[in-house]
Amino acid sequence: MSWSEKRESVDLSPTVKAARLLSDLLPDENDTALYGGESCHFFHFQTNDYCVLERTVRLALRYGDLKEPWFMSIERFSDFLLSGKSDSAKSRKSAPRGYDFSRVKEHEAFLDGNQLVVWSAFTQIYPEHVNELQYGRLLSEFLQFCEAERAGHLDRLSRGLDPGEEDPVCKRVIFVTYGPQCPMPELLRNSMRVIRYDSLQAEDFRILLREHWERNRERIDRELGHSRGLVPRDAAPTYDDGLLNWYANYMAGIPEMSVRRLLSEMRRDFPGGIVDFKARDKIASRVARHKNETLRIHDRLEVKDGGKYDASGRGGKPGGGGIEGLDAVTNWLNEHKAVSRESGLAPNGILLVGIPGSGKSATAKLAARILELPLVKLDMSKVLGGRVGDSEKGMREMLSDLEYAAPCVLWIDEVEKAMSGADGKSDGSGVIQRLFGMLLEFMQENDKPVFTVTTANDISKLPPEFFRNGRFNQTFCVMMPEYRGCCDIMRSKLETWMEAFGWDVPERTEMKEYAKRAFDACVGTKDDPRFLTGADIEAHVKELFCAYAADGPDRRPTVSRLAEDMRKAACTTRAQAPAASLSAMRDIASRYLDMLQRGLRMAGSGSTPFATENLALDRVRFYKYVEGEDLPECVIHPDPDAYRRALKSEKPEEWYDAVFFKRLVGCMNELVIYDRELTPDETRQAYYSMKTAKRY
């Protein structure tokens, strides 16, 4: 038996599951209570593939030991019921109750004892489909006909008369539709049963990949030398469970028909057209392009390539390990990876809040790599519409697209800007509030495995309900990296650029020395320091290698030479938080204190010197500074003695964190820390009222 003949008897798990469900819902021919069940049978199949619909129905009838079905389109069925009229199409529109359902008993399928399956396609999302009125009217009249038959049967039974036929039309005629949605009149909605299709499972991909091999055996034999006896004829590739699970996860949401086509199209991406299905990177890139093409219909979501995660790899390398300075986030993602696709156990997502350039956006890509899921980015500007109702419609379409893309990682970047006005204070129309509510409901109630990574720079602009339990599984505070984290970031960036230039990368110990000396060259002096974010460090390294590209050494320079060149590059590259910029330091201090108030967890695993704070409970509070003390009353340092010693040190690895802490708490002294329900203006007004009343 050829593989094509075998394939007819091999149905994939979504079809099998749907067929078993349908079999349980179909009328039982052995049931003697002919009029005891439903008076008619309507089903809607959530698939765009007629072949899948037909295979499901045939398989379901075999499960129920019923005869093979006779398929007929609604147009042919209508013409059959209206046969004898000169213009059936015109009659359907003008003549009320123009269908003669008693004629069904004369149909060939009915006479042979077959099930008559009447189908119609609803391939559009909205109810403008040309068949809607025709189909709704036909089903409504069929329902009335079946109810009249049942009423007549029961009436004859109650009067002791012959109950009539034992083979009613309602048990032999099944109406089915297929498509994303089925717009139905209110009368028919309670009678309609929906048949859904699950995603393909790992074993399904074992079948599909084997099928692809068999279909292309002749070409594969020619390319690999089977015909010359170099390779055994039965040497089809084998795939481990881990790879098959990866396929099931990465292609979940893509229907069977599209998966088969996608597997065939992958030949274009491989030399000689021989697909290496173990090459995850190429396959993932091809799947991302396919989903992008599908999602481009609405153009509200974009599939990004997050790369491949290597738990032992270097974070600076494309698709490598974690992100330096965000160890707590990396550990949390690894701990929850096992349940990220389990229904009811899968986490909803995480929220990362911090200053710009601290690695929040990179964490979204990190989550996709660790969880081995596609990364989908939301662009709110493409959801908003100009006419009334367009924005809500756009949000519904976007959420529907997300269900197609699932399982995936949804990246919502700078949510406070995307949802500006969600607090109701700047959006007079209430559109943003409604969109925000729809998004929050999806994040909490969605049963699809969509892991959300939401980033924000200023959470004071978000409403309080955003932080309620159930929205996120964990919220992280992402601050300026401490000295050790900065050196790790510098090391990873230097490694990446050295490899790009073709230089030999030194061993880890020597590379740490390169990173330390290079970072020390960027931070200025203790009296005039420059505090760097991860983005600042990346910009400094890029500036250095741009100079090397123009006129630099052919091979890796010495540590001293690289440090001196980095010092020159740093003079022309700005920093996020130079200590001389009071406004920048105040902004960092304000964001940091707001995050502490809300109980956010620090994203780094190390104990930062500014991680502990003694908050008062006043509704409006400010920080009092005792003259002559190194620390204000509100801040508790883990080791005050070590902090004071570090302030006197001349070594950057000692004074860097301590000086940053001193500048930070110096700005805290001038800040008012306000309740999250108050705006900054309301806070300042309350603060000055308290000062006037001499409460402090």
Looking at residue 328, which CATH number applies to its domain? 3.40.50.300
Q: Which of 513, 543, 575 delimits the end of a domain?
A: 575
Please give the pLDDT value at position 390: 74
470 and 334 within one domain: yes
151 and 32 within one domain: yes
Tokens representing 31 are 């049931």
Please give the pLDDT value at position 587: 80
645 and 533 within one domain: no
Residues in the chain predicted with pLDDT less than 70, given as ranges, are: 1-9, 28-38, 84-98, 123-134, 163-168, 183-187, 189, 218-236, 298, 305-322, 324-325, 341-344, 385-386, 388-389, 418-429, 576-580, 596-599, 604-638, 668-696
129 and 173 within one domain: yes
Tokens representing 16 are 């099998």
Please give the pLDDT value at position 682: 67
CA 306 to CA 329: how far, in whole Å?
Answer: 16
Max CA separation in the chain (angstroms)? 109
CATH number at residue 179: 3.40.50
Residue type, position 320, single letter: G
CA 481 to CA 500: how far, in whole Å?
Answer: 26
Please give the pLDDT value at position 150: 77
Please give the pLDDT value at position 317: 43
Could you tell me which of 509, 485, 511, 486 has the C-alpha nearest to residue 496? 511
CA 353 to CA 331: how far, in whole Å?
Answer: 18
165 and 78 within one domain: yes
Q: Is the dihedral of CA 367, 371, 376, 380 positive or negative?
A: negative
477 DSSP β-pair partners: 353, 602
Please give the pLDDT value at position 563: 94
465 and 565 within one domain: no
**Is residue 464 a contact partner of residue 598, using CB atoms and an 8 Å limit?**
no
What pLDDT digit, counting tens, does each position of 350-382 carry? 988 888 888 888 888 888 888 877 788 887 777
Q: Which of 275, 295, 315 delimits the end of a domain?
A: 295
Mark residue 555 as left, alpha or beta (left: phi above 0; alpha: psi -120 to 50; beta: remaining): beta
214 and 188 within one domain: no
**Is residue 302 a contact partner of residue 292, using CB atoms and an 8 Å limit?**
yes
CA 150 to CA 170: how far, in whole Å?
Answer: 9
Residue 227 in 3-state DSSP? helix
Q: Which of 449, 476, 503 delimits the end of a domain?
A: 476
Please give the pLDDT value at position 231: 46
181 and 89 within one domain: yes
CA 377 to CA 411: how far, in whole Å?
Answer: 5
Q: Is the dihedral of CA 154, 156, 161, 166 positive or negative?
A: negative
13 and 138 within one domain: yes
Please state the separation of Cα 177 from the chain's center in Å: 29
542 and 525 within one domain: yes
521 and 599 within one domain: no
Number of domains within the chain: 5
Cβ-based neighbours of 360, under 8 Å, separated by 6 or more: 352, 353, 354, 455, 478
CB-CB neighbours of 572 under 10 Å? 9
642 and 506 within one domain: no
What range does the domain containing 635 cover? 582-692
